[in-house]
Structure 1
């Protein structure tokens, strides 16, 4: 994912945004860890893959799945994110290719999917702590813990992207280290034959694919805050590459240690089981370290996802898709209204179970990704001369072929969804289809103020100019 410049492309007008004056931009290292937390945050939550399919398929899944899904999504994010280096990300891509109506649908589905995703992290946080603090399993203590955690992390987002970025770095290092230690202490106890256990007649394919999909998607989320990145046209592709390596190793190596060094009991492989494995391999001290790392990891994932969700709303407001007040920033440069909306959604959804949250989130996310793939191909065909500071080294035919495997995977994930998840997700989709015309009516009647920022690039103007000069 290195730089790929060509003389035939015309650069997008890079007049500094007046909205970002005086705001510190996110540099490469914090950006890597923000992507790491958008996608992964460590191996917490992958345990269900072993429960669903056994060690062999779990290990193969986290080796093969990245090539089917993560690599294409990261490559598309690198190309499109550098083509449109502004807040809003994939909403702008789809709007430019398919029009503002579908751009809004993309924004609605991906924002809702992101908020649902963020509702997972208080759940995972408490699942890892409840074995050491049983009172957190249910009741008032659990509700109070969710409220306090959400409030603290929301405030951290309010204080600015620089703080969020460097907090992500510190949390990331702390979260990764105990698994490095666990891997080292597991070496004398490894039995390679344990990795080969598989029973194709006893596989929960729905849980297996949803677990893989949830743990290896959201590479495009970082695009929604590209406007906050220092030199995004060079920094974003590099950060995506480094984060991709971190994510794959961060899943595969702990699974290798856990399944190879501990006798298999598939029923025990569920959320929080890595802390039990740590106790078996290293003792109580390592168990507490893993639990603390899980807590820190969920904090990192929460702040990274909320940053993406809130800046997406800001970017949509700057494009005139949402009322103007969504575009207003706090004194720290953060989208206050977007943060409050995203935090409210998290609290409303935090009562759902882990599996229900993952399934509903994946369903909505799949619809959004289909629109992204269509937009990517459409812009390649319709605007071949547009500025692409990073370009995937594939022609139109190669780009279409690259999108076929992940699209097929999307169809499988959708087909395996339960009826309950299907109904809830379709209701959410229908709300988005109706919401956009309602907002346009509100704008027409001037019940609320909508405005489009004048300094944002216009794809039609840029590509027409590129065609003339190319």
Structure 2
């Protein structure tokens, strides 16, 4: 095991030290995914462990009005999803918000967004991996002595998924489809069984009062729940690996978003209907608690609860896919070392995938699995990315008016403007340490950008 780690470290050191002219292969990615394959990756990225825990916490803020919290959060996120859908209909390169910002505002701002976005994927995957480790230890009953087990499991999971990603997008997509199928089935069963119980018993007393903490409580729940909708943009990151991307990327993006929104609202309706919001708001396993009211079937209860493991695994898989494609896209544009744009015979950006997987593991080890520390800048990075997606659409409508768009945002320019305003407004709900941490990362990125720019100039 130690020899493999040494070899991997040696390869990464050599990789970082290579210059631009040392790039062995730089080509286009292979198109293997159809609309449903891309949508599945989007669903995998959106539905993480959040719905299995976050819905309960949000219920504690909003009460039964958490149903509206999910609806409002979904509508706000949908504004950016629509902007992404239009942009992806005529910009079919890998890179998502990085490539959109690059074309709209130039190389520097493209780099800033891409730098933040790629790290956001890595940080997010690190946090999700720690969450996976927590669920794994809980369900297996392994004693987490001195945090060692938590860290080992958290590091092992993304490394295994990195190896799967190295095999190719088809293999990664196949694994993702299996994981997504399990968690969508679990959430669907939760909704069906819960609704049947509610309708057959006719007891809806838990829905009253609907606004126990007023509109302030509902909007607090909305701010928290908003981050359960992120992940749809992963589809635009893999646009270059989707067949007929002008049509399939925007369609799969909207399809994934709508499926997840329906599931989220369905879960919230059943959850607060079955259990008093004060109780559900303090539970670590709100779905299992709520479902236990409707059924005593142990298999079903554990299946829904254990599906959180599959949810975290598929979300990490999608994060590695998205993060590596963000790195690949920037490397191909030469804003970071071009060797990271190397493509394998299987059509995989090998070095970008390796860097992503290694960085996820490194963050977990350095922070000792401190979930709060790992996730400190995640929310800011997401809002910044969404902000620039909407701004890019406004700019590219003027800059590239003749581009053939197979999808256009309805109610333009109102939709992207509302997207910009809502992202800016939600920043005020973030903690200052998250903004400071993100600012430090951006400054480091600008320094790296200027260094690489001079290095490239001298090489020429």
Q: What is the TM-score of this pair, normalised by structure 2?
A: 0.84
Q: What is the CA-CA distance between 1:188 and the residue it aligns to?
A: 2.2
Indicate whether 1:64 and 2:72 are aligned: yes
Contact 1:76 1:376 in 2 (8 A): yes
Could you tell me how far 1:226 is from its partner in structure 2?
0.7
Other-structure match for 1:410 = 423
Report deviation, 1:203: 6.2
1:279, 1:141 → 2: CA distance?
30
Match of 1:141 among 149, 152, 155: 149
In structure 2, relative to structure 1, the CA distance for the partners of 1:137 and 1:252 (3 Å cut) is: farther
Which deviations, in whole Å up to 9, do the C-alpha atoms of 1:315-373 show, x marking residues without a partner? 11122222121111233221121112212332243345555555521112222222222
Candidates 333, 342, 346, aligned match of 2:356: 342
Cα offset for 1:51?
4.5
Which residue of 421, 445, 462 corresponds with 2:458?
Answer: 445
Distance 1:136 1:268 in 2: 27
CA contact (8 A) 1:279 1:285 kept: no
Q: Distance in 2 between matches of 1:97 and 1:441?
A: 23
Which blocks of at least 5 consecutive residues in structure 2 are unaligned? 1-24
Partner of 1:276: 289
Question: SS where residue 240 of structure 2 aligns?
Answer: helix
**2-structure distance, mates of 1:95, 1:103:** 4
Say if 2:160 is the partner of 1:152: yes
Q: Residue 45 and residue 154 in structure 1: after superposition, are their counterparts in 2 closer, same or farther (change >3 A)?
A: farther
Cα distance 1:300–1:29, how it changes in 2: closer, same or farther (>3 A)? Answer: same
Q: 1:48 to 1:356 in 2, by over 3 A?
A: farther
The residue correspondences of 1:200-239 to structure 2 (distance < 5 A) are 200=213, 208-239=221-252
| 1:162-206 superposed Cα distances (whole Å, 9 cap, x missing partner) | 112222222222112223322333232464232344332796789
Unaligned runs of 5+ in 1: 1-16, 450-470
**2:303 equivalent to 1:289:** yes
Q: How many residues align?
A: 425
Write out aligned runs for 1:371-390 (5 A): 371-390=388-407
| 1:167-316 alignment runs, 5 A limit | 167-186=175-194, 187-189=196-198, 191-196=203-208, 197-200=210-213, 208-266=221-279, 268-269=281-282, 272-283=285-296, 284-316=298-330
Q: Who is 1:126 aligned against?
A: 133
- Contact 2:56/2:281 (<8 A) preserved: no
Written as runs of structure 1 = structure 2, the 5 A alignment for 1:72-83 is: 72-83=79-90
Task: Pick the aligned partner of 1:430 from 430, 443, 449.
Answer: 443
Separation (CA, whole Å) in 2 of partners of 1:355 and 1:253:
29
Q: Secondary structure at the match of 2:243?
A: coil
Q: So what's the TM-score if we normalise by structure 1?
A: 0.83
Structure 1 range deviating more: 187-196 or 312-321:
187-196
Which residue, 98, 102, 107 being the options, matches 1:100?
Answer: 107
Task: Return 207-216 or 245-254, whichever deviates more.
Answer: 207-216
RMSD of aligned alpha carbons: 2.7
Is this contact kept in 1: 2:104–2:392, CA < 8 A?
yes
C-alpha contact (below 8 Å) 2:150/2:369 kept by paired residues: no
Shift in Å, 1:275: 3.1
Higher mean C-alpha deviation, range 44-53 or range 373-382: 44-53
Q: Cα distance, 1:137 vs. partner?
A: 4.9
CA distances 1:119-164 after superposition (whole Å, capped 9, x unpaired): 2222332333444334365622212211221221111111111112
